[in-house]
Amino acid sequence: MDKRIENFWRVRSLQDKIAELDIKYWLHDEFLTGSWWLLLVFLILPWIIWSIFLNRKQILETLLFGTFIIIITFLLDLIGITFRFWGYITQFLPIYPGALPFDFSMVPVTFMLLYQYFRTWKSFIISLIFMASAFALIGEPFSIWAHLVIYIKWKYIYS
């Protein structure tokens, strides 16, 4: 057998064992904990707020922008996990990346609301700076305090 194929199956076997351990850990130590319920709120509440404040005349444009933000957030989170910049102590689901409520709800909904209400480039960029600062200096320390995430090679200011 080709050495590469043999190595592939060896790595795959280890990945399978890790996935099994990860699911056991999630079921025993994460699922239905206080932190898990907080993630559920973080997943649902932003979309409820968005539906209340949505300008229905701009729904398609806003959703397309939000989809773009979801893709970027998801990819950046995947890079951060892959290079071990951070890890998720509590995950909503035992899948990667573990920040499903942040990547698919909190961040994109906030971006969509800013996009909708700050229509000039200047006001939009200023609002993004305030949002990024609030997420980095308030939201991220709260997430660490709530045992949702742990920083390995990352600092708030990088965000």
What is the per-residue pLDDT across 34-69, written as a single tens digit (0 to 9) for each? 999 999 999 999 999 999 999 999 999 999 999 999
Question: How far apart, in whole angstroms, are the C-alpha atoms of residue 3 and residue 114?
Answer: 52
Is 116 within 8 Å of 48 (Cβ atoms)? Answer: no
pLDDT tier at 1 (50, 70, 90 boundaries)? Answer: low
- Reference 156, options 131, 139, 137; nearest CA is 137
Helical residues (DSSP H) of the chain, grouped into ranges: 3-25, 34-53, 59-82, 100-101, 107-117, 121-134, 140-145
Counting residues of the chain whose pLDDT is more than 70, the rounded percentage is 99
79-107 per-position pLDDT tens digit: 999 999 999 999 999 887 778 999 999 99
- Reference 140, options 84, 77, 68; nearest CA is 77
pTM (predicted TM-score): 0.86
